[in-house]
Amino acid sequence: MTANRAYTAIWAAVKKIPRGKVATYGQIATLAGYAKQPRLAGYALAHTPASEKIAWHRVINAQGKIALPPRSAGYRQQRTLLENEGVTFIAGRVDLKRYRWQPCNDSPLLD
DNA sequence: AGGGTGACGGGCC
DNA sequence: GGGCCCGCCACCC
């Protein structure tokens, strides 16, 4: 398990996103200690084990949009999950100013 | 061990 | 606002 420390770090960061809030891939990557590597966050989420309780749906891109194809089942599921938490979509996007999770200044990485 | 890939982001037009 | 391009680097053949 030492191999994919990147995945683990990303997942740990995602777990910290509170219900009803969202975070961007870049934000998660930075929190996980992988600044400048948003792609890594996406890559890790694409491999999220179903067994773990990771709120992968709370991660969207910097444009406030869901990163998956609007047509895909994944997109619909993510959107539904978010709406169930009270996150509203306007023109297919989330208002980051309002729903973006802002970790209190120096919150530790540890869970 | 080398090269392609990606649930991104920021800069630029 | 939208579209293209390039950088980034852990992963997976």
The 10s digit of each residue's pLDDT in A38-91 is 999 999 999 998 888 999 999 999 999 999 999 999 999 999 999 999 999 999
* Dist. CA A42–CA A7, nearest whole Å: 10
**Which pLDDT score, from 0 to 100, does residue A14 have?**
97
What nucleotide is nearest A47 when CA is compared to C1'?
B7
What nucleotide is nearest A61 when CA is compared to C1'?
B8
Least Cα distance to A48 among A63, A31, A65, A28 occurs for A28
> Bridge-partner residues for A87, per DSSP?
none
Q: Is the CB of A76 under 7 A from strand C?
A: no
**Which pLDDT score, from 0 to 100, does residue A1 have?**
45
**Which pLDDT score, from 0 to 100, does residue A105 have?**
56
Q: Is the CB of A6 under 7 A from strand C?
A: yes
Q: Is the CB of A75 under 7 A from strand C?
A: no
**Which pLDDT score, from 0 to 100, does residue A110 have?**
47
Mean pLDDT of A14-39: 96
* Dist. CA A105–CA A46, nearest whole Å: 28
